[in-house]
Structure 1
């Protein structure tokens, strides 16, 4: 790419120095797609506070961090003082650079494309080649122009982010409305809470995790139901794993049939353990470890209702009420969960009413998703155009910038 004539081009090693200060007394931090944040401000479900962090690297405000996923989302700017994993690389900019300009440049599509070309390893082991990074050419506008671009982008991206936050809030409210409507109808049914085991014929979990791995997956073969396939009363088949039929035959005990209830044994901050959906016709299929397959007693329970109930806040509360956490459950917790289960005819009526309501709500949520995607694309295009000198920010409003 050609930059404006009054801009310099300088290799990264001459603009950024590597910092390696260890053993500092500072809180834990981590590099995310939104920048470097303190762990206390993030939702970290797994961390042992007694872990030895004496080897962790100090990062300070206006430092930059190359993390494990930087080749996907760019290099993270820090606004905090903390210590980060020794696997990270910490950078400090030279004195003639405005860190705010590079905060944006390091998230531009241009830089991310460069990073994608200098990664090492495969799959989860991918990492940026730091020596190759140091040889990357970086645009260096005059300092005053760096500041103008940074001021412009700070203001424009903040405006876009504010609109995005409003759309995300709208989406959350729509999601909440989905369940509040279901809760209201369920309350009107006035059903007694009973253990789930009284309406299911059988429930099993998947084979132990080491029974097979992703290396065993093939393009054609028996389907493997994984956690990512189990949505909130919805089967997500977009990333359908498969194993050879010969391997499937070894694990037929864990077989899944159309109409079975699939229950997630693991959860996180957004997806509670115990959420469920009904299996479509997958042909030959099994559940993987930490996924459960349940079959209902068809004369007293409707599979779609059970999946809906377990996916709702009512189901989440019932699962937690059995002494579990939102992150992990076992078969006994599932079977002993106390849930309000009305007569079969009323179950089917509730499912039908929910589907009609959810279709409308889901369409509105999809519109929000499209708007969020457009805003993200515009934000990225705006950043890339500004930090590469494609327009003069002193006169540009940012409106009308396209990819």
Structure 2
């Protein structure tokens, strides 16, 4: 594996409960890519699933932005016509499904779930129209959370910048802190 190849390799650390992070992925060259997709290419709309390690049980949809292959400890699913792939991906990320796999997880140091266990997961199958409504709802809600998280991260970054500037100003004597009373900041 190289970091200068043109193909992205999805690892367990590159997905998290419905999200895939191409910016942090390792890259592979064409030879390695072709080797990894020899049985089945990873297509847009496929579901990738981490099956081993401390991050087993996370699923995400493959976006159409790049050409991907699977890294170790990963597997892919392609939804049948009976399932909306988004719904299936969200369902695989539920605690109910995780617990089904957890029962048969093997290994203490590096837990993993076997393909046979995953094949036997009990998956709710509402009508496809309802699956689409559920997936739409979840995408809307998680999108709102993503916006709030981004705003909080920006606020934290700004507060850290201001803290650094305040410390610098105090150390360089630009502000006078000799009369500062830290007890005045204590709650109550």
Q: Choose from 117, 127, 141 the match for 1:357.
A: 141
In structure 1, distance between residues paired with 2:48 and 2:181: 51
* Counterpart check, 1:224 vs 2:6: no
Higher strand share: 1
Q: Is the 8 A contact 1:318 1:339 kept in 2?
A: no
User: What CA deviation, in whole Å up to 9, does each residue of 1:349-388 have, x standing for no partner?
Assistant: 1101222222223222222222222233334444455556
Shift of 1:344: 2.2
- The 5 A counterparts of 1:385-396 are 385-386=169-170, 391-395=175-179
In structure 2, distance between residues paired with 1:316 and 1:376: 37
2:86 aligned partner: 304
The alignment's TM-score, normalised by the length of structure 2, stands at 0.77
Shift of 1:348: 1.2
Q: Choose from 89, 109, 114 the match for 1:330.
A: 114
Q: Is the 8 A contact 1:321 1:337 kept in 2?
A: no
User: What CA deviation, in whole Å up to 9, does each residue of 1:316-363 have, x standing for no partner?
Assistant: 323223345795333233222333332322211110122222222322
Shift of 1:304: 0.9
1:273 aligned partner: 56
Shift of 1:254: 5.5
User: What CA deviation, in whole Å up to 9, does each residue of 1:261-287 have, x standing for no partner?
Assistant: 01122454xxx5211111012543210
Which stretches of structure 1, 4 residues or longer, exceed 6 Å deviation after superposition?
A: none
RMSD: 2.9
Task: Work out which of the two has the higher radius of gyration on C-alpha atoms and give 1 or 2.
Answer: 1
SS in 2 for 1:296: coil
1:143 aligned partner: none
Q: What count of residue pairs does the alignment treat as equivalent?
A: 179
Could you tell me which runs of 5 or more consecutive residues in structure 1 were left unpaired when the two chains were aligned: 1-212, 399-403
In structure 1, distance between residues paired with 2:92 and 2:156: 29
Could you tell me which runs of 5 or more consecutive residues in structure 2 were left unpaired when the two chains were aligned: 183-188
SS in 2 for 1:340: coil
Cα pair distance change 1:300/1:367, threshold 3 Å: same
* Counterpart check, 1:292 vs 2:46: no
- The 5 A counterparts of 1:131-146 are none
In structure 2, distance between residues paired with 1:328 and 1:396: 56
SS in 1 for 2:123: strand
Q: Is the 8 A contact 1:261 1:293 kept in 2?
A: yes
In structure 1, distance between residues paired with 2:123 and 2:30: 37
Q: Is the 8 A contact 1:263 1:293 kept in 2?
A: yes
